[in-house]
Amino acid sequence: MSTITFKTHQLTCHPDETLLDAMLRKNIDVPYNCKSGSCHTCLMRSSDQTPPVKAQEGLKPTQKQQNYFLACLCKPDQDMTITLPDAADKFITYGKVISKHPLSKDIIELKLECNNPLSFKAGQFVNLMKPDGVYRSYSIANTPNKNNIIEFHIRILPGGQFSEWIYNDLAIGDQIPITDAKGNCFYIPERQEQGLLLIGTGSGLAPLAGILMDALEQKHTGPIHLLHGSKNKEGLYRFNEMKSLAEQQQNFHYTACISGDTTPETYTRGRANEVALKKITDLKGWRVYLCGHPDMVEQTKKQAFLQGAAMQDIYADAFFLTPRS
């Protein structure tokens, strides 16, 4: 028998009962549907214990690592504190602006120093909040480091509430509230011989650059292909850096793709996702990371799957815009 803490509730889960049934028995209102581990509606997260193996069946490896589990499959073998997957945004630290400089005409690199260590994996995202309470998600472009510095690539959208504020008003030394890191789009050092295919458009390079560094630092042995796409050459920031990295790292390959009309030498013509899926036609056994424009991400997810990538091996972060209220 184990004691489960959920928000303000303390409940007992009997040995032969699933956690979901225990919660429903107590009339706690939680989302669920199939009660058989298929639909993932009752996804939850343990904030203190590693959930039972059985309760994590069918989840993505990156979810397992973060102690996500399915309540309908979970027969707890010890006391646990649990939360819903997107429990209200908690701003857990402040980041002090230590640098802000342009990467391209409309993308800036922002570096924040956290005053409390932030636990994250490169490629996850956090929410940042401005003084009037408006907040937005941004992906972390670097790997954890002892200076507690996190890096973002932020695209300035004309009329964009948050991005224009960063561009116009945010100054060195200012402090911004930051949530804990979220998202499943990051590198884990399993099956290191697997091919990695990283496709991003615009500032979608941010999480991919982080994932790439993480994979290289953790000595990934399989081939790693990064395809970065933009309308024009100016949008392909970090071109020189990526190109020379590809020259040094034998298993890393970089393709800079331009979808617009002029394609200077050493750039590839076409959309990054289309170029990638033509380049690697059989994705069986590959791990695929997709970041950036939501339409690109959705379309490529499907195409990568049809070309043989397993659903479990496709990680995506679509940069959805917040609908205007």
Partner 1 sequence: MSDSLFDKLGGEAAVDAAVDIFYRKVLTDSTINRFFDGVDMEKQAAKQKNFLTMAFGGPNNYTGEDMRKGHAHLVKQGLSDSHFDAVAGHLKSTLEELNVADNLINEVLAIAESTREDVLGR
What is the DSSP code string of 118-150?
A: ----TT-EEEEE-TTS-EEEEE--S---TT-EE
Residue 325 has which token pair? 């209220």
- C-alpha span between 185 and 314 (Å, rounded): 9
Number of residues that bind partner 1 (CB under 8 A): 16
User: Considering CB distances under 5 to 8 angstroms, the limit depending on partner class, which of partner 1, ligand FAD, none binds residue 298?
Assistant: partner 1
* Binding segment toward partner 1, per CB under 8 A, in 20-28, 233-241, 249-257, 303-311: 303-311
Q: Does 30 bind partner 1 (CB under 8 A)?
A: no
Binding residue (CB under 8 A) for partner 1 from 265, 311, 323, 325: 311
Q: What is the nearest approach in angstroms of ligand FAD to the Cβ of residue 265?
A: 28
The smaller minimum CB distance to ligand FAD, of residues 248 and 325, is found at 325
The answer to whether residue 269 forms part of the interface with partner 1 (CB under 8 A) is: no
- Identify which range of 151-159, 172-180, 235-243, 296-304 contacts partner 1 by CB under 8 A: 296-304
CA distance 221 to 205: 21
Instruction: Decide: 314 and 301 in contact? Cβ < 8 Å.
Output: yes
Element (H, E) at 112: strand 107-114
Of 70, 64, 66, 65, nearest to 21 by C-alpha is: 70
45 lies in the binding site for partner 1 (CB under 8 A)? no
76-84, 114-122, 168-176, 299-307 -> range binding partner 1 (CB under 8 A): 299-307
Q: Out of 302, 320, 321, 322, point to the residue binding partner 1 (CB under 8 A).
A: 302
Closer of 78 and 161 to ligand FAD (Cβ): 161
| Residues 198, 208 contacting (CB under 8 angstroms) | yes
The smaller minimum CB distance to partner 1, of residues 191 and 302, is found at 302
Q: By C-beta, is 190 or 295 nearer to ligand FAD?
A: 295
Which residue lies nearer to partner 1 by CB, 57 or 217?
57
Structure token digits, residue 86? 């997107």
Its sign, for the CA torsion 184, 126, 37, 41, is: negative
Minimum CB separation of residue 206 from ligand FAD in Å reads 4
DSSP code for 151: E
Residues 6+ apart with CB under 8 A from 120: 126, 140, 144, 150, 180, 181
Q: Does the protein bind partner 1 through residue 38 (CB under 8 A)?
A: yes
Query: Tokens representing 149?
Result: 């510095």
CB of 204 to ligand FAD, least distance (A): 7
Question: What residues form DSSP beta bridges with 72?
Answer: none
Residue 36 interaction partner, one of partner 1, ligand FAD, none, beta carbon < 5-8 Å per kind:
partner 1
Nearer to ligand FAD, 21 or 151 (CB): 151
User: Which residue number is nearest to ligand FAD in terms of Cβ?
Assistant: 160
Q: Out of 15, 16, 27, 36, name the contact with partner 1 by CB under 8 A.
A: 36
Question: Does the footprint of partner 1 cover residue 39 (CB under 8 A)?
Answer: yes
Residue of 278, 154, 162, 157 lying closest to 225 (CA atoms): 278
Query: Edge-to-edge, what's the strand order for the sheet holding 268-269?
Result: 268-269, 252-258, 224-230, 196-201, 287-292, 314-318
Closest CA to 98 of 84, 108, 112: 112
Binding residue (CB under 8 A) for partner 1 from 11, 17, 26, 37:
37
- List residues binding partner 1 (CB under 8 A): 34-40, 57-58, 298, 301-302, 305-306, 310-311
